[in-house]
């Protein structure tokens, strides 16, 4: 099967699974979260709702990716792909949503770090200072969106650079598509390198935000792990159980984005710099990003006992009803 078809198929599957999983998680957070979770409940709701949004914008964009020489692009292949107004907005919003997912994950780790290691700073997540986090989130959203839209959008030089490869691999005229991405440099006929500074500046700023979130996640995650091991013999058993549940969920919420978000995008970012051309294989990044919002909520549903118990209780009730119906049928038959 053609890679473009596989990418689109996975994006639709990812959307359906993500919608079901995140709606389920939102229901569980709203109705089954223990009071001991405190304001973390609202942070979890925020994250689940945004994961749902991410899957929606992904299916609206149906992004494909292509790497050619010293560049790569992300372009819209949905029913909006030829719309000169909506397509650029949608593809830019998709890329911004990727970055904001990483920002939200970093905020998760900041909260857990404060609760476990700096509990005297918990006022940062209570009224009125909690408003700092939505403001930070919105500010980064605006910054990321503007960087992508104004520094990494299409231009005549980029169009000429991609014209032949896009028609050869996708049968598309590049001038008709809306895309974003960097063209790091061009090697002219004399062998001289011409840096495309607009793209370079945009990628440096965008990836600086992504690397900062990864640094926060890894640093605070390590500190939380050390603190939990140290305090294992000194905290109440109930508190320890809750901490372990949240930490295990958070660990999975770290591993999944590292595998499905950080790693594939880093490969995509760096390969053009070292002259490695991925071509249509770059669409593996689209596939990974489409699967992320479908996989992420499953960690919280499994590791948080109150949520897992809900499904176990429902399953037992179903089994009991099945046995009752079977016994009733046998008695009626006799």
Distance CA 154, CA 212 (A): 27
Whether the predicted pLDDT of 1 surpasses 50: no
pLDDT digits (tens, 9 = 90+) for 5-15: 899 999 999 99
157 domain-assigned: yes
Consecutive H or E run containing 303: helix 283-303
Task: Read off the CATH number of the domain in which 263 is found.
Answer: 1.20.1070.10
Q: Do 250 and 109 meet the contact criterion of CB atoms below 8 Å apart?
A: yes
Residue with tokens 């009752």: 324
pLDDT digits (tens, 9 = 90+) for 116-155: 899 999 999 998 999 999 999 999 999 999 999 999 999 9
- Domain total in the chain: 1
Q: How confident is the model at residue 59 (pLDDT cuts 50, 70, 90)?
A: very high
List Cβ neighbours of 221 (8 Å cut-off, separation of 6 or more): 109, 250, 251, 254
Whether the predicted pLDDT of 320 surpasses 70: no
93 domain-assigned: yes
Distance CA 165, CA 110 (A): 44
Q: What does the block give as tokens for 62?
A: 């149906």
Distance CA 16, CA 228 (A): 37
Q: Do 138 and 103 meet the contact criterion of CB atoms below 8 Å apart?
A: no
**pLDDT score of 333:** 54
330 domain-assigned: no
318 domain-assigned: yes
7 domain-assigned: yes
Whether the predicted pLDDT of 285 surpasses 90: yes
Q: How confident is the model at residue 249 (pLDDT cuts 50, 70, 90)?
A: confident
Q: What does the block give as tokens for 63?
A: 């992004």
Distance CA 157, CA 197 (A): 13
In this prediction, residues 153-175 reach a mean pLDDT of 94
List Cβ neighbours of 2 (8 Å cut-off, separation of 6 or more): none
65 domain-assigned: yes
329 domain-assigned: no
In this prediction, residues 160-173 reach a mean pLDDT of 94
Q: Count CA atoms within 13 Å of residue 176 on its CB side.
A: 10
Range of the domain at 311: 3-324
275 domain-assigned: yes
In this prediction, residues 269-295 reach a mean pLDDT of 93
């Amino acid at each position: 099967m053609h890679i473009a078809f596989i990418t689109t198929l996975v994006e639709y599957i990812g959307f359906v699974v993500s919608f079901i999983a995140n709606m389920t998680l939102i229901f569980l957070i709203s109705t089954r979260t223990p009071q001991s979770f405190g304001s973390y409940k609202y942070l979890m709701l925020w994250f689940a709702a945004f994961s749902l949004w991410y899957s929606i914008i992904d299916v609206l964009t149906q992004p494909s990716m292509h790497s050619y020489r010293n560049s790569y692009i992300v372009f819209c292949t949905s029913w909006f792909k030829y719309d000169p107004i909506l397509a650029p907005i949608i593809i830019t919003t998709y890329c911004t949503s990727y970055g904001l997912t990483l920002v939200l994950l970093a905020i998760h780790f900041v909260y857990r770090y404060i609760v476990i290691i700096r509990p005297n700073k918990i006022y940062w997540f209570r009224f009125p200072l909690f408003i700092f986090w939505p403001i930070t989130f919105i500010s980064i959203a605006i910054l990321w969106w503007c960087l992508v839209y104004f520094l990494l959008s299409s231009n005549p030089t980029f169009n000429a650079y991609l014209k032949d490869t896009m028609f050869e691999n996708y049968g598309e005229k590049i001038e008709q598509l809306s895309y974003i991405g960097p063209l790091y440099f061009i090697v002219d006929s004399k062998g001289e390198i011409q840096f495309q500074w607009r793209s370079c500046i945009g990628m440096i700023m965008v990836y600086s935000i992504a690397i900062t979130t990864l640094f926060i996640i890894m640093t605070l995650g390590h500190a939380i792990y050390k603190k939990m091991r140290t305090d294992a013999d000194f905290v109440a058993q109930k508190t320890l159980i809750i901490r372990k549940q949240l930490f295990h969920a958070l660990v999975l919420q770290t591993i999944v984005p590292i595998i499905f978000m950080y790693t594939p995008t880093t490969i995509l970012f760096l390969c053009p710099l070292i002259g490695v051309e991925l071509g249509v294989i770059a669409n593996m990044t689209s596939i990974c990003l489409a699967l992320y919002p479908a996989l992420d909520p499953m960690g919280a549903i499994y590791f948080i006992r109150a949520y897992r118990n809900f499904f176990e209780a429902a399953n037992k009730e179903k089994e009991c009803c099945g046995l009752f119906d079977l016994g009733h049928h046998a008695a009626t038959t006799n």
